[in-house]
């Protein structure tokens, strides 16, 4: 109950937008005199999927552990879902798949999930628990002992455990490192369905293509520092369109130039698309070119890949390293 004289303030607070799923500022951690993490700040909004990228030893896992209150930062602050990072009430609403983990090999997958359900202080029906295992492709293996599981199956079980308590934030540290292509696609679908339900996801993965497919934003760490961060559009720049055309006439060339700056290499044309593409720009262009008797052999989107961008950022960092 809120006392009457405090009600206006409580109403004001209730009307504020929800706190970010992750908020951290100035995180620092040194091991044996070396900075593992050096002044890292970023946010993950509610329902946002953010990728943490960087080379081996960049500090990604250490950042994740500091966010979750598993490693104490030397300085800086972190909050999860509006609570202090170590606060059990905030942690209870977070699902975590650690990079390295082992479950009790003598338990079955169903028993592991049940154990974690109890640890999370929640109660799920047997059906819900079986659905939880089926969601990660372990529906048929619920009664099998974890000791006989392959690495990929253990990782799938880890994901089921991370999701067991219907978290508002899911932190996945290398969730697909042991998975086959089908398993990776499953994880991608799970991440996208979490996002649809408004669950925020922080994803640490070396599989850049995967990050590019599911993440709204990325934070790139290099030697403990944030080397770059932003939405994919911000990091990858303008979208382009590549067209293979023959039979181009001056009116068709003018029509092409209306769309954006055009570069030509033989019969291939690259057009820079404007940022405010409303979705009809490309079909309208193709329709008009065809109406002008141009033969349209290919139309493909083009943009620098996240992998190329990441390598560029990391190599530029090496050049500037002290």
Ligand X SMILES: Nc1ncnc2c1ncn2[C@@H]1O[C@H](COP(=O)(O)OP(=O)(O)OP(=O)(O)O)[C@@H](O)[C@H]1O
| Sites of contact with ligand X (CB under 6 A) | 31, 36, 54, 56-62
Pick between residue 61 and residue 176 the one whose CB is nearest to ligand X.
61
170-206 exposure pattern, b = at least 16 Cβ within 10 A, e = fewer: bbbbbbbbebeeebbebbbebbeebbeeebbbbbbbe
Kindly tell me which of 65 and 184 has the beta carbon lying closer to ligand X.
65
By C-beta, is 48 or 173 nearer to ligand X? 173
Which residue's CB is nearer to ligand X, number 55 or number 86?
55
For 100, the token pair is 């390295």
Cβ pair 56, 313 in contact under 8 A: no
Which SS3 state, helix, strand or coil, does residue 80 take?
strand
281 burial level (CB within 10 Å; 0-12, 13-18, 19+): middle
Between 36 and 50, whose beta carbon lies closer to ligand X? Answer: 36
Q: Decide whether 56 or 123 has the Cβ nearer to ligand X.
A: 56
Whether 136 contacts 159, CB under 8 Å: yes
Provide CB contacts within 8 A for 148, sequence distance 6+: none
State the nearest-atom distance from the C-beta of 58 to ligand X, in Å: 4
Closer residue to ligand X in complex, CB, 117/226: 226
Which residue's CB is nearer to ligand X, number 60 or number 116? 60
Two tokens, residue 227: 């080397």
Note the Cα 200 to chain centre separation in Å: 9
**What is d(CA 184, CA 188) in angstroms, rounded to the nearest whole number?**
6
How many Å is the maximal CA-CA distance in the chain? 77
Report the nearest approach of ligand X to the CB of residue 99 (Å). Answer: 6
Tell the residue number behind the tokens 């850049």, with chain if given: 208
CB of 94 closer than 8 Å to CB of 171: yes
What one-character DSSP code corresponds to residue 137? Answer: T
CB of 111 to ligand X, least distance (A): 29
Q: How far is residue 227's CA from residue 246's CA, in Å, rounded to a whole number?
A: 43
In 3-state terms, what secondary structure has residue 82?
coil
């Amino acid at each position: 109950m809120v006392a009457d004289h405090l009600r206006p303030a409580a109403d004001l607070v209730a009307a504020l937008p929800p706190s970010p799923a992750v908020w951290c500022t100035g995180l620092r951690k040194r091991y044996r005199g070396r900075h593992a993490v050096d002044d890292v700040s970023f946010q993950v909004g509610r329902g946002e999927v953010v990728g943490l990228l960087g080379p081996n030893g960049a500090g990604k896992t250490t950042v994740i552990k500091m966010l979750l209150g598993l490693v104490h930062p030397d300085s800086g602050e972190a909050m999860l879902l509006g609570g202090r990072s170590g606060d059990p009430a905030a942690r209870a609403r977070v699902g975590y798949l650690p990079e390295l983990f082992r479950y009790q090999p003598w338990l079955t997958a169903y028993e592991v999930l049940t154990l974690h359900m109890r640890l999370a202080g929640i109660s799920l029906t047997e059906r819900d628990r079986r659905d939880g295992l089926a969601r990660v492709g372990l529906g048929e293996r619920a009664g099998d002992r974890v000791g006989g599981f392959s690495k990929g199956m253990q990782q799938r079980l880890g994901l089921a455990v991370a999701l067991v308590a219907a978290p508002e934030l899911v932190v996945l540290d290398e969730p697909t490192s042991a998975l086959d292509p089908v398993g990776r696609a499953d994880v991608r679908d799970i991440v996208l369905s979490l996002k649809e339900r408004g669950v925020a996801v922080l994803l640490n993965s070396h599989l850049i293509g995967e990050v590019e497919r599911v993440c709204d934003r990325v934070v790139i760490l290099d030697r403990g520092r944030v080397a770059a961060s932003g939405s994919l559009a911000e990091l990858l720049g303008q979208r382009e369109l590549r067209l293979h055309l023959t039979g181009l006439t001056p009116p068709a060339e003018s029509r092409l130039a209306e769309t954006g700056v055009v570069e030509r290499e033989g019969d291939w044309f690259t057009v820079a698309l404007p940022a405010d593409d409303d979705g009809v720009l490309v079909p309208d262009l193709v329709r008009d070119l065809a109406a002008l008797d141009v033969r349209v052999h290919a139309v493909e989107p083009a943009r620098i890949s996240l992998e190329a961008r990441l390598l560029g950022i990391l190599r530029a960092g090496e050049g500037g390293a002290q």
